[in-house]
Amino acid sequence: SESGSNCYRVVLIGEHGVGKSSLANIFAGVHDSIDSDCEVLGEDTYERTLMVDGESATIILLDMWDNKRGGEWIRDHCMQVGDAYLIVYSITDRASFEKASELRIQLRRARQKEDIPIILVGNKSDLVRCREVSVTEGRACAVVFDCKFIETSAAVQHNVKELFEGIVRQVRLRRDSK
């Protein structure tokens, strides 16, 4: 999107069941924002304006990765349209963590030469006794993939606000360094 417009398209990707829609619903529902309502632009698109570090930012959040009717076309579309990405896995599901790495590689291939802000998101951090992926592994993976890392829980709403603020900061860092 146009730099300086303060409006960013953020795309949720990751294995089915990791909590993408749960995170999107929190974003749509209870996140602090300067306007109290979230605009639902479609069944899987949400728009919301947030105050981050004293500056407003509008996020258009796309949660269509698992849209079955769209099939491959939707996924190709998702890979192309994001200004930033949240690659989500579940800390209780090692396969979803491995999938996250695949998606990082696919994204790099789809958007060569672009420095796209990405946060690797280990969701379901509340399920401590079912953990299959350690914090250390998650963090190490993010270092390899040159992206940020956060663990969240959509269930208990831990770090979800920080996640969306974090992605705004990542976009701004790149914008400001141009």
1, 4, 9, 21: residue in contact with Mg ion (rule CB under 5 A): 21
Read off φ and ψ for residue 101, nearest 5 degrees.
Answer: -65, -40
Q: Is 110 left (phi over 0), alpha (psi -120 to 50) or beta?
A: alpha
Window of 47-55, 58-66, 87-95, 158-166 that interacts with Mg ion by CB under 5 A: 58-66
Q: How far is the CB of 126 from Mg ion (least distance, A)?
A: 18
The number of residues making up the chain comes to 178
Give the CA distances from residue 15 to residues 54, 58, 64, 89, 115, in Å, rounded to whole numbers and listed in that order: 34, 26, 12, 7, 23
Q: How far is the CB of 171 from ligand GDP (least distance, A)?
A: 22
Residues at the interface with ligand GDP (CB under 6 A): 16-22, 66, 123-124, 126-127, 153-155
25 binds Mg ion per the rule CB under 5 A: no
The residue whose Cβ lies closest to Mg ion is 21
Distance CA 74, CA 56 (A): 29
By the criterion CB under 5 A, which residues form the site for Mg ion? 20-21, 66
